[in-house]
Amino acid sequence: MKKVFIGIMLSLSLIGVARAQVEYQPYSYQFYQKLNADIYSTGTREHTAMKPSFIDDTLLKRSYDSLMNYGNDGKPHGLGYQKLFNEHLVDTKGQNSTFYFDLLPDVGIGRDVSGNLNTNITSIGAQFGGTVSNKFYYYFSGYYNSEVLPEYLSTYIDQTGIGPGQAAARTYSTYGYDWSYYTALLSYTPIKYLNITLGHDKTFIGDGYRSELLSDYASPYPFLKLTGTLGNVRYMAMYAYMDDPVAASNSVDNVPRKKFAVFHYLDWNVSNRISVGFFDAVISYTVDDAGHPRPFDFSYLTPITFLRPLEASNGSPDNALIGATGKYKISDHLAVYGQFALDEFQSAEFFSNDGSSRNKYGWQLGFRGSDLFGAKGLNYLAEYNTAKPYTYSERSYIENYSDNGEPLAHPWGANFREWVGLLNYSYKRFDFSGEADFGRYGLDENGLNWGKNIFELYTNTARPESSANLGALGNYTGQGLTTNMVYLEGKVAFVLNPKYNLRIELGAIYRTEDNAQFNDKTTWFTIGLRSSFRNIYNDLASFASHGQLAVPVD
């Protein structure tokens, strides 16, 4: 694998001919939803389910350029004005190349009224990127974060050891943590039908706010991605290398574990209105929990295949996941979408009401659109997500569907139902956003595994197994310590510089989480100077009961 990576990097270093026409846009829901009116129009056949995206010379490119150059009136201004409001800090354009560089300040203060706690965030970041000809693109961003957080987020970090969706965290006070992480990519398009990307980042599959297949929630990971486009079909094959601290804590020698992940996704725009997609993934370990090494199965490197039959033909030693996506544009301003993820299937019990632990699946249904009530720039989304107990968990710790101690799919893990609604409105330099999230899920209690925590073994269920073939029966979504969560968030931001999303932002979060054991409440106000396009999720559910680690240790 290292030889393949080195060969690609050497090839990339030799490229350079003509000026590039491609823009790379890091994924964030807040920015991408601003393009709803174009990418979900019945007049286009954009591939919308794979993110982040490279934006080329299309109608989408014109809309993107309009957003990124808002406020630039073309009139002469001083250098300070231009750098603050209109341009990258460094921005050079040559005959065959481009380059830009930005500092990314992210500082703010806040108050958790319910917890009587002053909070703060101090993030120092930078990014640079550019092109060499119309074939080669590169991008890098790096951050150091120091944060004092409200109790529900500090509880999450204490239980998982991870700054949510970012990196392993270090503790420096009761509610204070710091961590650092980076993203990077090298992209090469040798012909218009094929893109090769080598990177350290995330990938999101789907048209919704959440993904039951592959989301951008877990920490960045190294990958090699091949993306081919032919007519109305786009196909992705991605090979990733991931950390697993959970498996390390449950191994004989506590040595950090590594695992390979292979993802395939085919997206077919059947017409201007209808799109369908097919997804599969395999998680393959290199060293098991007993410390036994295992060679990588090179049959998984086949770029065009269905992984589940390959994995089954080898005796099903790994964790395979398959799924499907769909989208239908009802009108220019309304699209309905959905997903189905199948982790394990027991045909004898799938259509019964017996609740076998061997039938593990999740699904999503939602709708999204633009210009609500005729108001240009008012975008909306409403979505339902659910996953059966024990979905994404496996027979050994290292095989679960996770990276660096966090889920690769929905951030809540499994054994949940979620209803989420989002409103976003942009007017000149102002961005307004609102979220309402209602969830019900079942936490583990009394040391028993009820199916929410994907880091537990699904063979160790709270209910006794009726047989090896059927698994444990009587399971239902929300079992265990049934917990209800309400999450409300509102933000208003004034965008100073759209090039790297520099903005003054005021936010408020109201969150409650209650069950028979505890009743937590958070009312959190923040104000700060923010930048970058990264997604940061605060709408998290607990992974475990109070006083219990989310990461199981034997």
Give pLDDT, residue 192.
87
Q: What DSSP string runs through 335-401?
A: EEEEEEEEEE--HHHHTSSS--TT-EEEEEEEEEESSGGG-TTEEEEEEEEEE-TTTT--SSGGGSS
Q: Residue range 123-144: average pLDDT?
A: 94
- Whether residue 26 is preceded by a cis peptide bond, meaning omega within 30 degrees of 0, is no
- Residue 267's closest CA among 317, 215, 180, 207? 207
316 pLDDT band, cuts 50/70/90, is low
- 275 in a structural domain: yes
- Residue 322's closest CA among 341, 301, 337? 341
Give pLDDT, residue 8.
35
- 537 in a structural domain: no
Percent of the chain at pLDDT exceeding 90: 62
Asked whether residue 57 carries a pLDDT value surpassing 60, the answer given is: no
Q: What is the DSSP letter of 63?
A: H
The more confidently predicted of residues 447 and 7 is: 447
The owner of tokens 């005796």 is: 315
> Which amino acid, 523?
T
The more confidently predicted of residues 551 and 266 is: 266
Structure tokens at 213: 């297949």
Give pLDDT, residue 464.
74
pLDDT tens for 168-226 read 999 988 889 999 999 999 999 999 899 999 999 999 999 999 999 999 999 999 999 99
Q: What DSSP string runs through 82-117?
A: HHHHTS-SEEEE-SSEEEEEEEEEEEEEEEETTTTE
- 551 in a structural domain: no
12 pLDDT band, cuts 50/70/90, is very low
492 pLDDT band, cuts 50/70/90, is very high
Residues 6+ away with beta carbon under 8 Å from 161: 168, 169, 245, 405, 551
Q: What is the mean pLDDT of the chain?
A: 86
524 pLDDT band, cuts 50/70/90, is very high
Structure tokens at 220: 């960045």
> Is the CB of residue 296 less than 8 Å from the CB of residue 247?
no
Give pLDDT, residue 18.
32
Asked whether residue 14 carries a pLDDT value surpassing 70, the answer given is: no
Minimum mean pLDDT range among 53-62, 89-98, 219-228, 333-342: 53-62
Residues 6+ away with beta carbon under 8 Å from 48: 39, 40, 207, 275, 327
Q: What is the DSSP letter of 167?
A: E
Give pLDDT, residue 287.
65
Give pLDDT, residue 401.
94
Residues 6+ away with beta carbon under 8 Å from 452: 389, 412, 413, 414, 415, 416, 441, 442, 443, 444, 480, 543
301 pLDDT band, cuts 50/70/90, is confident
The CATH number of whichever domain residue 391 belongs to comes to 2.40.160.10
- 44 in a structural domain: yes
Q: Residue range 416-424: average pLDDT?
A: 98
Asked whether residue 104 carries a pLDDT value surpassing 90, the answer given is: yes
> Which amino acid, 77?
H
The structural domain count of the chain equals: 1
- 535 in a structural domain: no
pLDDT tens for 355-414 read 788 889 999 999 999 999 999 999 999 999 999 999 999 888 888 999 998 999 999 999
16 pLDDT band, cuts 50/70/90, is very low
- 285 in a structural domain: yes
Instruction: Report in angstroms the alpha-carbon separations of 323 from 10, 266, 274, 311, 364.
Output: 35, 11, 17, 16, 11
- 128 in a structural domain: yes
pLDDT tens for 340-360 read 999 887 766 666 677 788 889
Residues constituting the chain: 554
The more confidently predicted of residues 318 and 218 is: 218
551 pLDDT band, cuts 50/70/90, is low
Give pLDDT, residue 148.
95
Could you tell me the residue range of the domain that residue 234 belongs to?
2-530
- 542 in a structural domain: no
Q: What is the DSSP letter of 293?
A: B
17 pLDDT band, cuts 50/70/90, is very low
Q: Three-class SS of residue 151?
A: helix
